[in-house]
Amino acid sequence: MSQIDNPVHNIKSALDQMFDLVTMQLTKSKDALAGFDKDLAREVIQIEKRVNGQELQIDRVAENFIALYSPVAIDLRFVLAALKINNNLERIGDIAEGISKYINETNSPLDATLMEESNVMPMYEAALRMLKEVHEAYEKEDTSIARKIFKSDDYLDHINAEAITNLTHAANGDASKLSDALYIISIIRKLERIGDQLKNIAEEIIFYIEAKVLKHVKPK
């Protein structure tokens, strides 16, 4: 084993744990929304403290790795990608926490008709599926899996684009539904931002493995 292998392994392992934490957080926030479970929503908010702590730990280990070993080539690409992936995952955790706070702020479940018209739960399930796929791409170092994320993100963008029209139509003439419609629109926009973060992670995986920079390049 080379001198550099152990710190690389440590960063990979810590980032795996970060993926697991954020996946748990996003899953619980989805279940809290589906069941209007305030206890579960509060649990998501508590998990955010662990996510933030994990992010700081990974940043420290990665920065020390760069300072002590001056990595080059694939090792340098890995640590640079790891720092960005770590930040993207922390932002996903923030979004899951934000949705859970919405649940705690409301006094009753969101209107079932509006929830169905908005496709918010299918969107949530798609975002969670994307998170699991991008984690698999990271673990297997498989850029073909990473590239699937771009198409999946288009689905989230499509729902986001239609949300305002669908919810406005569903709530038309019923002022009592307006508050719920605004909450759902906010949730959908947060889920759309999760898609953006996952797309960023996919780009970093491709950069690390293939040495290709995809930022600002429209995927084919």
The per-residue pLDDT for 220 is 47
Q: Measuring CA to CA, which residue among 127, 11, 142 is closest to residue 71?
A: 11
The per-residue pLDDT for 61 is 94
Contact 33, 101 (CB under 8 A): no
The per-residue pLDDT for 16 is 96
How big is the CA angle at 194 (ends 75 and 132), to the nearest 5 degrees? 60
Residue 61's H or E segment, with its range, is helix 38-69
Residue ranges of domains in the chain, CATH in brackets:
5-210 (1.20.58.220)
Amino acid at site 162: E
The per-residue pLDDT for 155 is 87
d(CA 196, CA 154): 10
- Six token digits for residue 21: 């934490």
User: Which residues lie closer than 8 Å to 127 by C-beta, 6 or more apart?
Assistant: 26, 156, 191, 194, 195, 198
The per-residue pLDDT for 219 is 47
- Six token digits for residue 99: 């949705």
d(CA 44, CA 61): 26
Q: Where are the alpha helices (DSSP H) in the chain?
A: 5-35, 38-69, 73-105, 112-118, 120-140, 143-171, 178-210
Per-residue tens of pLDDT for the chain, all 220 residues: 455 678 899 999 999 999 999 999 999 999 999 999 999 999 999 999 999 999 999 999 999 999 999 999 999 999 999 999 999 999 999 999 999 999 998 889 999 989 998 999 999 999 999 999 999 999 999 999 999 999 999 989 888 888 878 787 776 767 778 889 889 999 999 999 999 999 999 999 999 999 887 665 554 4
